[in-house]
Copies of this chain bind each other. A is one copy, B any other.
């Protein structure tokens, strides 16, 4: 059989949907996944570690990477850059490891455009009511910030159909197993097996 290539799984979702928790638990249960670490030009916060939460770099380093096509996607938020280093992801995929990328919708759609084989998953709570409840439940956000997040969630609903899978996060355990099952199944997608199909086509050509 042919060597199995890694699947690039991109996970986004509404703010408050719980995607961070899902990814954390997924990696804990299935340490064979490679987790992509984003790069940023913002300063590290207390407790954050270079290479764990982010790769913290200077504006010059970041811009150099953009220039050399070293990022799979990048965007600016609040005067800082955020992006996904390409090399780590491509190396792991080539080695046959599945890679998890937890990024915002804007970045996810950039990745999908450049890598149509990327598997896009969107995490949502079971209802808008539940989303609002979770945002308020944090107890750390002002009413204005909560309304901004809900408005952005509405904007994001317009693009969900660009994703491959929808993860309704009702129960963490179920959701983690669904995510794993979806990534496993993706290995057998016809679009990820072009090499095999071409090979068997060539082998059978003598009988045509």
Contacts and interface: CB of A to CB of B under 8 A. Distances in A.
Q: Interface size class for chain A?
A: 35 or more
A126 interface: yes
Contact of A190 (B161, B190, B203): B161
Copies of the protein in its oligomer: 2
Given A151-B207, A178-B188, A197 B165 contact: no
Contact of A203 (B128, B197, B200): B128
- The 5 closest A-B CB pairs, nearest first, are A128-B203, A150-B207, A154-B204, A157-B201, A185-B185
Interface of A: 1, 122, 124, 126-129, 131, 147, 150-151, 153-155, 157-158, 160-161, 163-168, 170, 178, 181-182, 184-186, 188-191, 193-194, 196-197, 200-201, 203-205, 207-208
A79 B64 CA distance: 69
Contacts of A200: 124, 127-128, 157
Contact of A182 (B170, B178, B188, B204): B188
A204 B165 contact: no
B157 A204 contact: yes
Central interface residue in A129, A131, A158, A197, by most chain B CB within 10 Å: A197
A197 B161 contact: yes
